[in-house]
Chains A and B, each alone.
Chain A
Amino acid sequence: MHEVAPINPWVALAYLASGILFIMALRGLSSPASSRRGNRFGIAGMTIAVVTTLLTHVPRTGDGALDTIAIAEVLGAIGIGAVIGIVMARRIAMTAMPQLVAAFHSLVGLAAVAVAAAAYLNPSAFHIADAAGQIFAVSRVEMGLGIAIGAITFSGSVIAFLKLNGNMSGSPIMLPGRHIINLGTLAAIIGLVAYFLTDQSPWVFWTITALSFLIGFLLIIPIGGADMPVVVSMLNSYSGWAAAAMGFTLGNTAMIITGALVGSSGAILSYIMCRAMNRSFISVIAGGFGADDSAGGAGGSKEQRPWKPGSADDAAFLMSQAENVIIVPGYGMAVAQAQHALREMGDVLKKEGVNVKYAIHPVAGRMPGHMNVLLAEANVPYDEVFELEDINNEFAQCDVAFVIGANDVTNPAAKTDKSSPIYGMPVLDVEKAKTVLFVKRSMGGVGYAGVDNDVFYMDQTMMLLGDAKKMADDIVKALNGGGH
């Protein structure tokens, strides 16, 4: 009885080809050498998908003639998006990548909502309704899920963006009874999607939409700044599932393949981030991490322990005498914009015959792989940069571990102190190095987790207090003036 979507095999093959090109795009990222070719595959896949759709859905007026105004509107919309997107991509600072990605996620979410709403309002254009305008049951479920996931992605990403961009405090905002409110809202959304099967009236559809926007906000506001890498990855995953749900509605293979790829990608990245912080996904989502640490952990009862201060000259001398130096950068290094000065320091040391390597903890930046991008931007060759598991056993043989802008990721309490909030988190074993140089703004501040670090007080540790960039610059000066 119902109107079946006309399937042109060439069109179906074109969408399949674009899906395969997207798989190859991700495959290219297995190494920096093949990555740019991968990105080109992605661009090719997107071009095929867009051109195929444009050619098969040419706007026509009632008498079948080309609707030039509508065509111009569509091309104009693409043009506007292209200009905005390219300008954003060119201007963004690499330190602000997490915000940009969050902003992009929110756009995918909102676009999914708009497409689902458009399909709801004009189902015959999408071939998802019978002659009487009744939307097929399976399409209603797909559409309901699409709009729900899209709306959650949008509002959640907006909050993540505001927190990452500093427009909103990074500390968790805890509503009383939030678990009950959240679970109740989620249950209502699921219930309404089920009810949508029997009743396609507008109030059901728009209530699902409104509740989904709401739950997106509610889910993200209690999550603290330290957990943002997980949140950004999770929203990445959601944006994929939203695309997949719309792919089901349209029966479009390119969208389904992409949605599955992106959905898995975000899920895996969330898992990697959770593992790197030894936090369960559920506890991250439940939120509140770091909320009461400032009141408790850093309290005044802490004893004053002796620590050894050092100067840039001391650091320059120690490192120039060293055979192996491992640099451990953290997000504080990026905040101080010290990556270029740091690379210069590495270059001078290498010229003096020192073997320099960089050790990266998975949560060193604000999003997965963020620190690698920042070092790459500063022209640090990627084959000098190592992941935690690849370099951790080298600290025992290294002369100097140079920690700059990192703290929690070097804290040995994670291995020994069961009462520590970061217990169980994999950490870089800097304390095994012969000498530890620890660049830090002051002795007062503590890391995200709000815990003290025993490394500061060890005999082989020298604290270099000051701004990370200025310290790195001063060390370079001292190295250059050292008369070699």
Chain B
Amino acid sequence: MDFISIFSIFLLACFVGYFVVWSVTPALHTPLMSVTNAISSVIIVGALIASAAAGSPLSKWLGLAAVVMASINIFGGFAVTERMLAMYKKKER
């Protein structure tokens, strides 16, 4: 993809992010941080490409290390978010 198309997607996503995040209730700001943490580990895509590529052993091992780190974040981030969200209960009655 050319730079301008990618940049357009980026700018539009910034606007979407701006509006979506303001609509998040302040009571859920901590889960917001843990879930954004988990999704920012989508960087694992780059790590997987590096670890699958032939040509540079160092590059491959850096990729694998990044896969481990990003996986900790993905699994840990979603799991801790789920754990927190399960605690939010409405008044009984």
List A residues at the B interface (Cβ < 8 Å).
5, 7, 15, 18-19, 22-23, 25-27, 29-33, 35-36, 38-39, 42-43, 45-46, 49-50, 53-54, 57-62, 70, 73-74, 77-82, 84-86, 88-90, 92, 94, 97, 100-101, 104-105, 107-108, 110-112, 114-115, 117-119, 121-122, 124-126, 138, 232-233, 236, 239-240, 242-244, 246-266, 268-269, 272, 360, 362, 365, 367-370, 372-373, 376-377, 379, 381-385, 387
Contact = CB atoms under 8 A, between A and B. Distances in A.
Nearest to B63: A118
B43 A74 contact: no
Contact of A30 (B24, B55, B79, B82): B24
B13 A256 contact: yes
Interface of B: 1, 3, 6-7, 9-11, 13-14, 16-18, 20-56, 58-60, 62-92
Contact of B53 (A26, A36, A125, A250): A125
Pairs A-B, 7 closest by C-beta atoms: A81-B71, A369-B29, A85-B76, A125-B53, A264-B17, A85-B75, A260-B13
Given A100-B80, A111-B66, A250 B46 contact: yes
Contacts of A33: 90
Contact of B76 (A26, A86, A246): A86
A79 B89 CA distance: 33
A240 B36 contact: yes
A318 B28 CA distance: 33
Contact of B50 (A125, A372, A381): A125
A85 B77 contact: yes
A206 B85 CA distance: 41
A36 B36 contact: no
A32 B20 contact: no
Contacts of A45: 39, 42
Contact of A50 (B18, B48, B78, B84): B48
Contacts of A46: 38-39, 41-42, 74, 78
B60 to A, nearest CB: 8
B80 A74 contact: no
Nearest to A253: B9
A16 to B, nearest CB: 9
Given A35-B88, A387-B26, A243 B43 contact: yes
A123 to B, nearest CB: 9
A85 B33 contact: no
A124 B55 contact: yes
A236 B69 contact: no
B16 A261 contact: yes
A278 B58 CA distance: 48
A258 B39 contact: yes
25 contacts: A5-B1, A7-B1, A32-B88, A35-B31, A50-B74, A58-B52, A81-B69, A84-B75, A111-B70, A118-B46, A118-B50, A118-B60, A125-B59, A126-B49, A242-B40, A246-B43, A248-B3, A251-B6, A252-B46, A259-B40, A261-B21, A268-B21, A360-B27, A367-B33, A369-B32
Tell me which of B22, B26, B78 has the highest count of chain A C-beta atoms within 10 A of its own C-beta.
B26
A27 B20 contact: yes
B17 A19 contact: no
Nearest to A25: B35
B36 A266 contact: yes
